[in-house]
């Protein structure tokens, strides 16, 4: 019996000797320093995880993938894998030129022959690939606000794998996993994709899936990039290792996948299936709302709960990998076990228990009990290490509003009140102080103002990560920049946006620094509210009015909000 899933698959790496030679020659090539997402993509291109791709997509392949989920030659491939670069870099190279692809430390990973260069229609890409051109989708937000404007395409020559210093024994290339399955005689393997910690329901689900398919089990978590705000991969892998002991070791293994997820729902499910097939897997578990990013701008889910399963089913035969549909598992108290929700005949006579992801996060945040039936004590311990209760975590209070709205005054009052309470170090990152110490070389152009806000956000995220309180009070006129800062900080703790909603007329009437007068006279260019826009925050955690309200009261409103969020323990 031949087992095509276990035969070696093509990689894009050259031999060790050629790689040594190429490294020396590449010193003369123009270099592109890859972003974290591009490093994930390149690793899976080089090791065969993205087979049949031979490099970053050409324009013809890109257009075909966006429009009909196929490469120009007709092969099924749902996700555009593109090398996005800045306009300046794109202008500096010629078609046919080789460029060196380096990691963020400057280590060369591979070279690419640039055969195509084009400016994509990103709105169309968002619409076709993600289903909507809506910035509430993390990948659409990335596409418009992080990715470069120009795409380069062309074949890759792999020199060496990206270096990972963490969990090295758990990382396998497609050919390493295939060899492992060959060695153990595993003909059938069912893979479980996850970006979240595993709890008892997942364990029950994976047991059942393996039994149903009469297959061995590969737990294949993503450790590249997932959705902003997800539990970091170090914590997750420690959780997986804690759970692995609960599985029979002779039929279960775990390997880490360095994939940058796009959260593209149905297309992502098909993509995950093709990738797993390259890793030698025969069956793949597809869940409810597989790889869904949550709600869109209207508050509705981006994809229907079973869209991913339906699209996978349509292409299952062509893909050559069998779908095992994920069942929604719930805990039946009377029988003390997990059962598929739609298979419980005596629903009305039993107590069904379930904890959602949101509820779990709430319990962690508030330091509440997480019952043993829901998760393993070892997993809960790991999660609690990373996510102490809210009242012990760092957080950032970010004031935004016009110049002269009273941001700094309220921020100062808040700082004093928080210092009086004690317990956590408090840092005030006021606009003027930051300008002097961090951003003295910056002017007031849009780029420079954004850079200044990003620096404030970076410092605040470090303070938050280390359990302190950061109070920021810049004007921060642009909503895209405020969102980026929010994402930077929410990896580590809470972010509280406070819109100081003083009207422009009132700020101009106060004009303590005489800036509005100068702006009206045209002596200050690009002044927020006069000659430059201010994006009013749509749903800040708090809006404070300062007209006819004293400063103490405004600061106190922030304290009350922090208490209601559990960030400071109510005395």
Catalytic residue numbers, as ranges: 194-196
402 is in an annotated binding site: yes
CA dist., res. 8 & res. 279, Å (int): 10
Question: 22 and 159 in contact (C-beta within 8 Å)?
Answer: yes
Q: Which two tokens stand for residue 495?
A: 């972010």
Start-to-end CA distance of the chain, whole Å, equals: 71
The answer to whether the beta carbons of residues 90 and 129 sit under 8 Å apart is: no
Strand partners, 323: 284
Backbone φ, ψ for residue 37 (5° rounding): -65, -40
Question: Quick one: how far is CA 475 from the chain centroid?
Answer: 27
514 is in an annotated binding site: no
- Does the annotation place 299 within a ligand binding site? no
Cβ contacts of 57 within 8 Å, gap of 6 or more: 65, 71, 80, 81, 82, 151, 153
The answer to whether the annotation marks 401 as part of a ligand binding site is yes
At residue 243's C-alpha, the angle toward residues 240 and 247, to 5°, is 120
Tokens of 337: 């076990």
Tell me whether residue 31 is annotated as binding: no
531 is in an annotated binding site: no
How many of the other CB atoms lie within 10 Å of CB of 124? 13
Residue of 223, 199, 146 lying closest to 371 (CA atoms):
199
Beta strand 337-340 with 329-332 is antiparallel
Compute the distance between CA of residue 315 and CA of residue 463 in angstroms, rounded to an integer. 48
Q: Which among 84, 112, 106 is positioned nearest to 27, based on CA atoms? A: 106
Helices (H) and strands (E) in the chain, counts: 20, 20
Q: According to the annotation, is 405 in a ligand binding site? A: yes
403: helix, strand or coil: coil
Confirm whether residue 407 is marked as ligand binding.
yes
Q: Which of 152, 170, 196 is nearest to 255 (CA)?
A: 170
What stretch of H or E contains 472?
Answer: strand 469-473
Coil vs helix vs strand at 108: strand
Output the six-digit token pair for 252.
């279960």
| Residue whose C-alpha is closest to residue 379's, from 256, 235, 248 | 235
* Binding-site residue positions: 401-408
* Binding-site residue positions for ATP: 401-408
């Amino acid at each position: 019996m031949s087992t095509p899933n276990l035969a070696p698959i093509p990689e894009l790496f050259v031999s060790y000797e050629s790689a040594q030679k190429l490294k020396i020659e590449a010193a003369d090539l123009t270099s592109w320093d890859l972003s974290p997402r591009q490093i994930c993509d390149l690793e899976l291109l080089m090791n065969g995880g993205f087979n049949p791709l031979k490099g970053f997509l050409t324009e013809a392949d890109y257009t075909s993938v966006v429009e009909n989920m196929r490469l120009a030659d007709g092969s099924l491939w749902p996700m555009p894998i593109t090398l996005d670069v800045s306009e300046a870099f794109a202008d500096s190279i010629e078609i046919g030129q080789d460029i060196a692809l380096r990691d963020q430390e400057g280590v060369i990973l591979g070279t690419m022959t640039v055969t195509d260069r084009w400016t994509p229609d990103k709105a169309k890409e968002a619409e076709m690939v993600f289903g909507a051109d809506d910035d509430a989708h993390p990948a659409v937000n990335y596409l418009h606000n992080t990715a470069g404007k120009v795409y380069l395409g062309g074949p890759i020559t792999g020199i060496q794998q990206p270096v990972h210093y963490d969990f090295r024994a758990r990382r396998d290339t497609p050919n390493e996993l295939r060899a492992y399955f060959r060695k153990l005689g595993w003909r059938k393997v069912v893979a479980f994709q996850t970006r979240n910690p595993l709890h008892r329901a997942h364990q029950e689900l994976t047991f059942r899936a393996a039994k149903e398919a009469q297959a061995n089990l590969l737990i294949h978590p993503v450790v590249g990039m997932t959705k902003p705000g997800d539990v970091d991969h170090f914590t997750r892998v420690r959780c997986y290792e804690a759970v692995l002991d609960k599985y029979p070791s002779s039929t279960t293994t775990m390997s880490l996948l360095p994939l940058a997820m796009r959260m593209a729902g149905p297309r992502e499910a098909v993509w995950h299936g093709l990738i797993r097939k390259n890793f030698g897997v025969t069956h793949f578990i597809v869940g409810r709302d597989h790889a869904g990013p949550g709600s869109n701008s209207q508050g509705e889910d981006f994809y229907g709960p079973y869209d991913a399963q339906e699209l996978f089913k349509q292409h299952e035969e062509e893909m050559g990998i069998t779908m095992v549909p994920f069942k929604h598992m719930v805990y039946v108290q009377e029988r003390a076990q997990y059962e598929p929700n739609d298979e419980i005949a005596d629903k009305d006579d039993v107590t069904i228990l379930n904890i959602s992801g949101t509820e779990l996060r709430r319990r962690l945040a508030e330091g509440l009990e997480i019952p043993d039936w829901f998760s393993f004590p070892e997993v809960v311990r790991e999660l609690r290490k990373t996510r102490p209760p809210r009242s012990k975590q760092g957080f950032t209070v970010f004031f935004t509003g016009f110049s002269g709205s009273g941001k700094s005054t309220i921020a100062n009052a808040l700082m004093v009140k928080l210092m009086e309470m004690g317990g956590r170090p408090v840092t005030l990152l006021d606009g003027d102080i930051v300008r002097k110490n961090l951003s003295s070389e910056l002017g007031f152009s849009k780029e420079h103002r954004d850079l200044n806000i990003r620096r404030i956000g970076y410092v605040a995220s470090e303070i938050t990560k280390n359990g302190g309180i950061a109070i920021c009070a810049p004007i921060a006129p642009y909503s895209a920049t405020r969102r980026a800062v929010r994402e930077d900080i929410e990896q580590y703790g809470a972010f509280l946006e406070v819109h100081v909603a003083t009207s422009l007329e009132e700020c101009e009437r106060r004009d303590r620094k005489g800036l509005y007068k100068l702006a009206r006279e045209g002596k200050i260019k690009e002044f927020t509210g006069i000659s430059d826009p201010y994006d009013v925050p749509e749903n800040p955690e708090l809006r404070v009015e300062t007209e006819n309200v004293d400063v103490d009261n405004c600061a106190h409103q922030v304290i009350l909000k922090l208490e209601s969020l559990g960030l400071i323990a109510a005395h």
